[in-house]
Amino acid sequence: MRSLKWSTSHAVFVTEIDDEHKEIFQTVGELQRALSGENPLAGTRELTAQLVARIQDHFAHEERLMRAARYGSLRWHKQKHDGALKQVGQYVGRIETGDTSAALALVEYLTAWLHEHTRLADLMLGSFLRNHNRGLYKMSFQAGTKPLNACAWVDASGTKFNPAVRHSGY
Ligand SMILES: [Fe+2]
Ligand SMILES: [Fe+2]
């Protein structure tokens, strides 16, 4: 079975999303290693519960970001999340009865699903969020207010300035 490793080909260039993806990929890897060990049952349930919780939190986080930014493809993206959660739930039900082949099937399913989903649906979302945030910066600059998460105002030459102080010569 191929293993899931996060690489820059999975990057969506939104740090908080990329960090959560890395954690999820890592947990899938841990589950895969546990399954190929001497005692596959030990720790499998715990790791599966951890993995499912991470995935649920992550999907909810992405959906919050989509709602806040009024993302047009929210329904399409959420349907993908819901479909994956349903499938994962079925594997988890079998794992809880001690079926280790279901844990193996879960790893295989998530390896393929996460690889595809991050490189298409999440990449599209990342690109939308970056443009959306750039738009917010521009709007607040034009309105003369400082964006909440801005550390400093920087002009085109990279020099810090205070937008509250009017400069002559502009
Ligand atoms: Fe997603
Ligand atoms: Fe994601």
Stated pTM of the model: 0.80
Kindly state which CATH superfamily the domain 8-161 is placed in. Hemerythrin-like (1.20.120.50)
Q: Quick one: which ligand is closest to 25's CA? A: 2
The pair phi, psi for residue 143, each rounded to 5°, is -80, -5
Residue 88 CA, ligand 2 centroid: distance in Å = 15
Name the 3-class secondary structure at 106: helix
Measured distance CA(138)–CA(147) in Å, rounded: 9
Give pLDDT tens digits for 28-48.
999 999 988 877 777 888 899
Residue boundaries of the structural domains of the chain = 8-161
Residue 166 CA, ligand 2 centroid: distance in Å = 43
- Look over the chain and give the mean of its residue pLDDT values, rounded to a whole number: 87
Measured distance CA(80)–CA(75) in Å, rounded: 9
Buried b (16+ CB within 10 A) or exposed e, 29-43: bebbebbeeeeeeeb
Name the 3-class secondary structure at 127: helix
